[in-house]
Amino acid sequence: MSTIMQPAAFFSYSHHDDNHDHGYLTKLRDRLSGEVRSHHAKEFPIFQDRNSIEWGQNWIERITESLRGVTFLIPIITPNYFASEACLDELRQFAEYGKNVNRNDLILPIYYIRCEQMETNTTPDDELVNLIKDHQYKDWRDLRGKSLKLVKFNERLEELALDITNGTCSIKRCDLPE
């Protein structure tokens, strides 16, 4: 069995959205991982359940283990994200981790498909929606389905990578209290 490198980030998304957009989100994850490496000169593995679970592994255990070991959660915000119990559970688990280490800047949302939850007022009962709304997100709605070769796509990708490596997100897992 091969050794799996511990991911630096966890890519939380709806499978339907990735399938419907012909693997666009998977390609975005691949490109972001590479772009961070280009700027940081270090590997930046991003866990994705399609690529990071080996044959025969218990997928629930692998996801839970990965959530415990990553520094960042990158939720891809869509209507299907908010409708997915699995996605919401990942967000819930990671938010709890953030509270435990007294950090509120480890969730890096990407707003990908317009959804009512993000556009309307919410109630205090909408805890996870409010959690996402409380974080500064990157708006990728205008790039959905656009060519990965567009200058605009690459500029935004670089912006994400620089935010992770140089900005408020430049945190190493080992810097966080256990």
Tens digits of residue pLDDT in 95-141: 988 888 888 888 999 999 999 999 998 777 789 999 999 999 999 99
- Return the bridge partners of 47, or none: 10
Q: Are 169 and 104 in contact (CB under 8 A)?
A: no
Tens digits of residue pLDDT in 27-39: 999 999 999 999 8
Angle at 82 between CA 81 and CA 87, to 5 degrees: 55
End-to-end Cα, the chain, rounded Å: 29
Domains of the chain: 9-172 (3.40.50.10140)
Distance between CA 67 and CA 44 in Å, rounded?
Answer: 15
Q: Pick from 165, 141, 153, 178: which is nearest to 72 by CA?
A: 165
Q: pTM for the whole thing?
A: 0.83
